[in-house]
Structure 1
């Protein structure tokens, strides 16, 4: 895991400043390549072939700067590059020679996470690519004859003297709680998409865009596999993905263990290949304690278990944590993710996590809703819950069903937002959002209702939110996170599984729960999804109350360009006018927007 940066027609001072801004991503070594008007830099966190593998790396007139890991690079060398001469044992050299010899088709062979820039000296072209899920980030600024790229937006900004805010995207953020697809909050700036290859012709100053992976194409390949065979296939592929992620490292690999079935399955299978794997469970003040369930799995597989007890200094750390994203970032679980990564780094440099399991296998309550609730049921629920009081327990099924009782009155983007982030819905309208049509507006009926939401989750919330969160949280602490559920094998197979095996009646992640019975204690199988259920109410109304007022009460706030100041003042001073949960989320989204804006000039 590393940091990459550079550009075309960028001055040396800006280049050096960009590199310094991502030193935390690669503290082990630094490298650069200069040729004509092209500058390419690298910061390395050495995981594979620690003694070699320094970057940028060159071969036959091609230069690469690469961030990520190719877990199956040894088998790629053996099966597809047998005639090549290698000078290192590095996956960077494998990736470079794979692309030189097979081009974009070579990327289809990779099980890994990656973002790379390859410079073709002969053709004077810059080739930028990203993995299937978009685990490793790559941002690009392009204006006139200048192109700048980096692993992080905060680094990218250092290379641009005249970067401007894209106000339409700020509206998108406030409405949705995420910034979608290739969008960023800056003009002339975009993100390389998951599964995308973008080729920039330096001489012509033009882009060519190609994709080697689109998950919706695999959802179209529905099989009729039985549940028994699907469980067996997923079991084998999960083994393959986990084994690859354990063995493709010269350093010790640990695992997060939350007590849920995703991380517990990973630990159970990992223990088949590693003795006494280090596992980590976290206890936070005010959050759910899953240490009991984590300990069950740890005892079962005799892991080297560490229970991390963390006290957050949120009032002092909030600005540092939020501003690290380089964009407004709504997901408040970014806070514990930072502290967890900081503590885990004291023990290991590489760690396994369960990211992607819910988005592939149907692990959220919205997937149950999508799979079971018809418009008629929704309309009936709407008129029933319309006259019933609110619950004070935001995690109760009563609250959840009441929230979704309004789905029958929602369409397209508004419906998806109600299913997911649900921030300003029913309180404030953002009519001029530029977010494109989501798949839940699909009119050709290519996908069933569950698959439509699963695809949207993968393309929007996973790509634009969850993976961004874990990349920044881990890399701020020079920790590499690996996600077996996002392996090439599962990403290409799980979408083909019939939806009835993923959500059955009112049971989420049905297939994974069935698989878990093979490995886990029965007490874990039917636990509800919990994640980080954070005390946002306590944060907003107590420890961050003064911080929020300091940011939002002045008349000249940045937020007031998008939300009426009278509405913001009402949020601050008249809490009883709002549903408590919605008020917390609205204030949090405005606070993170202000923190981002304040730190733009730093």
Structure 2
């Protein structure tokens, strides 16, 4: 579906705060387009901005100064000769070691960005990528070789989107900034809409737009003026086999590596705090921060009712004597959704983006950097889906359910029954033991599209591109233990495409930098050498990490069942707010897009309103999709009217 009009939409608001953002073009760069892109990136970097345009290249940068707050950190950064120019977003955690290896006398600043310049001079792009450790996305232009390099960190913490058309290559940190470089809105990809509705996100390398791509994690892009860009992986997690150690030795190794990772991420010339959920992962991070600093700032998010984790977060904060701040989510907070949708740039269905957004905004008034517990589940086996995957594998081997279309057969039942674990096992077994997102259709539209699909989705493939990607990862790990297989699939797909994207967008929207100690490559390597029974044992998730928690955290916390942060989505589609939301999702304009059949969607809405079935998360996806269309395709200001209507009924 082509965009209406030649230009990207002008959104009706700006972010309250003005973190690093990068953009650029290779081949006939346009300074005016780069300046417009910078305007879309100001929320990521309020401290400095800079552009460079000459010959075949144009580079632009907005900076949130975290290390070396002086003018020496200004970007695009260059060497003395002007041969190398770099724009960089992120942090290089081993920059001190690399600086010493390169020779400190060569450096003009204390920034980690200069390590990229000096490292490329000395080692070339391959040698540089082999050495750097951190979270990053950067663009580097070599004037002598007439070559541009774009790279993204090993696990996908920092974003890099790009497009190539009419002999010009364009890239940026965000889709809205990239649209300014393109000067138009590309066609919407129906395959991407399907990915979003079934899996709740659009996996890399695709985006919502045809011809616009995300650079996958651990990837290097190379392009020369007038040539087609090439992309290849520069790193894959090593499969070195399990090392024989005792449980105690592994416990000590995890404690040591995690302490080192936290220590590296405390380096900053600005205030540093932590997101504290009250779960094991974030609580361990806070415990290690408290060993290094006399004053630790913690921030927590909760909500009224079942599943609220604020009491656990308070207990941890009290135990370690932190300066603790809390936010409480209520139904009125739904009014921030249009602004959230605008920052993601494409439909993104993880409803936890709302509380993440709110706590990030609150955190920015206290700190500039936060440490998080992200990655603990994907490395140490924290999800209940991991034991389910094992049972599914065993059931699959018995050849039971081999030819049953489980998602269609049980999705409606699984959405209402308390036996969801049984449904998940049966569905995975029927899918060949494969490990897919929301395979029972309890969150997205897997198995439900036949009830609500419009003409543009009728006949759509039952297997999405996200499914294919996860199946490929699953098959590549054949022969390894079921725990390690499931962990690797999530580490290389769900984590970067959903969770890390959510954290980056919601924090950077408020010029807040989030750092994840668990995703240190030393910890990744250690967990891959660790026997699977130290991750999941007899159905108990995160076995070894719980052992560490028993020694470091308040009594009882280590035995808690994982809850996850689930906003009251179901309530948002009932009661006083229901008419305003219904008028958006079931409007003629929404249905005319052709993705949904009105009668089917109305039936789901009625079932949800009468509490016959919980369709809250599916209705959430339809709302996000329609808001995205109105912001990015229609660009008619209707979203602002919806915000006023929503607040009026709140």
Output the TM-score relative to the length of structure 2: 0.85
Structure 1 residues 536, 559: closer, same or farther in 2, change over 3 A? farther
Per-residue deviation, 1:319: 1.2
Supply the distance in 2 between the matched residues of 1:270 and 1:591 (Cα, whole angstroms).
40
Supply the distance in 2 between the matched residues of 1:426 and 1:414 (Cα, whole angstroms).
16
1:225 to 245, 252, 261: 245
Per-residue deviation, 1:139: 0.4
Supply the distance in 2 between the matched residues of 1:107 and 1:84 (Cα, whole angstroms).
22
Gaps of 5+ in 2: 1-18, 451-459, 636-650
Is it true that 1:75 corresponds to 2:97 in the alignment?
yes
Q: Is the 8 A contact 1:287 1:532 kept in 2?
A: no
Q: Is the 8 A contact 1:287 1:533 kept in 2?
A: no
- Output aligned runs, 1:503-514, within 5 Å: 503-514=536-547
Task: Give the secondary-structure state (helix, strand or coil) at the position aligned to 2:90.
Answer: strand
Task: Give the secondary-structure state (helix, strand or coil) at the position aligned to 2:38.
Answer: helix
Bigger mean CA offset, 480-489 vs 533-542: 533-542
Per-residue deviation, 1:414: 8.1
Per-residue deviation, 1:123: 1.1
| 1:486-511 CA distance string (max 9 Å, x none) | 11211222122121110001100111
1:368 paired residue number = 387
| 1:53-98 CA distance string (max 9 Å, x none) | 11110014100000001122112111x2127510001101012211
Is it true that 1:261 corresponds to 2:280 in the alignment?
yes
Structure 1 residues 391, 439: closer, same or farther in 2, change over 3 A? closer
2:112 to 91, 95, 109: 91
Supply the distance in 1 between the matched residues of 2:89 and 2:104 (Cα, whole angstroms).
26
2:73 to 33, 47, 53: 53
Supply the distance in 2 between the matched residues of 1:484 and 1:543 (Cα, whole angstroms).
42
1:234 to 254, 263, 266: 254
2:616 to 575, 584, 591: 584
Q: Is the 8 A contact 1:559 1:593 kept in 2?
A: no
Is it true that 1:314 corresponds to 2:333 in the alignment?
yes
Per-residue deviation, 1:453: 1.7
Q: Is the 8 A contact 1:559 1:590 kept in 2?
A: no
Supply the distance in 1 between the matched residues of 2:113 and 2:59 (Cα, whole angstroms).
15
Supply the distance in 1 between the matched residues of 2:573 and 2:629 (Cα, whole angstroms).
20
Q: Is the 8 A contact 1:412 1:441 kept in 2?
A: no
Is it true that 1:7 corresponds to 2:25 in the alignment?
yes
Supply the distance in 2 between the matched residues of 1:104 and 1:414 (Cα, whole angstroms).
33
Task: Give the secondary-structure state (helix, strand or coil) at the position aligned to 1:588.
Answer: helix
1:105 to 121, 124, 127: 127
Task: Give the secondary-structure state (helix, strand or coil) at the position aligned to 2:538.
Answer: coil
Structure 1 residues 571, 589: closer, same or farther in 2, change over 3 A? same
Per-residue deviation, 1:443: 7.0
- Output aligned runs, 1:17-166, within 5 Å: 17-51=36-70, 52-59=72-79, 60=81, 61-78=83-100, 80-82=101-103, 85-102=106-123, 103-162=125-184, 163-166=186-189
Supply the distance in 1 between the matched residues of 2:380 and 2:118 (Cα, whole angstroms).
35
1:192 paired residue number = 215
| 1:384-422 CA distance string (max 9 Å, x none) | xx99x979988x6x4433444433323477844317974
Task: Give the secondary-structure state (helix, strand or coil) at the position aligned to 2:281.
Answer: helix
Is it true that 1:168 corresponds to 2:191 in the alignment?
yes
Per-residue deviation, 1:106: 2.3
How many residue pairs match? The answer is 591
1:201 paired residue number = 224
Task: Give the secondary-structure state (helix, strand or coil) at the position aligned to 1:282.
Answer: strand
Task: Give the secondary-structure state (helix, strand or coil) at the position aligned to 1:418.
Answer: coil
Task: Give the secondary-structure state (helix, strand or coil) at the position aligned to 2:344.
Answer: coil
Supply the distance in 2 between the matched residues of 1:28 and 1:83 (Cα, whole angstroms).
26
Supply the distance in 2 between the matched residues of 1:559 and 1:500 (Cα, whole angstroms).
52
Task: Give the secondary-structure state (helix, strand or coil) at the position aligned to 2:327.
Answer: strand
Is it true that 1:431 corresponds to 2:453 in the alignment?
no
Task: Give the secondary-structure state (helix, strand or coil) at the position aligned to 2:25.
Answer: strand
Structure 1 residues 273, 422: closer, same or farther in 2, change over 3 A? same
Q: Is the 8 A contact 2:537 2:543 kept in 1?
A: yes
Task: Give the secondary-structure state (helix, strand or coil) at the position aligned to 1:477.
Answer: coil
1:298 paired residue number = 317
Q: Is the 8 A contact 2:391 2:425 kept in 1?
A: no
| 1:119-151 CA distance string (max 9 Å, x none) | 111111111001111101010011131111111
CA RMSD of aligned residues (A): 2.8
Structure 1 stretches of 4+ with a deviation exceeding 6 A read 389-394, 576-579
Structure 1 residues 286, 151: closer, same or farther in 2, change over 3 A? farther
Supply the distance in 2 between the matched residues of 1:351 and 1:545 (Cα, whole angstroms).
35
Per-residue deviation, 1:200: 0.8
Task: Give the secondary-structure state (helix, strand or coil) at the position aligned to 1:43.
Answer: strand
Structure 1 residues 235, 439: closer, same or farther in 2, change over 3 A? farther
Supply the distance in 1 between the matched residues of 2:285 and 2:465 (Cα, whole angstroms).
39
Supply the distance in 2 between the matched residues of 1:434 and 1:283 (Cα, whole angstroms).
34
Structure 1 residues 440, 58: closer, same or farther in 2, change over 3 A? closer
Gaps of 5+ in 1: none
